[in-house]
Amino acid sequence: MRRRQFVRCVGVVGAGALTGCLGDDSGTGETPTDQSADGPTVTDTQFTVTGRASGTQVSDATISFEDERIVVEGTIWGANGCKTAELVDAAYDGDADELTVAVAVTDREGAGGGCTQAIVEIDYRAVVTVDGGLPGSVTVTHDHGDGPSAVATVTL
Residue 65: what pLDDT? Answer: 95
Full residue range of the structural domain in which residue 95 is found:
2-17+25-155
CA distance 80 to 103: 17
Mean pLDDT for 122-136 is 96
Residue 111: what pLDDT? Answer: 72
Query: What percentage of residues in the chain have a pLDDT greater than 70?
Result: 76
For residue 47, which of 67, 73, 65 has the smallest C-alpha distance? 73
The domain total for the chain is 1
Summarised one tens digit per residue, pLDDT across range 72-123 is 999 999 999 999 999 999 999 999 999 999 999 999 887 777 788 899 999 9
Residue 37: what pLDDT? Answer: 55
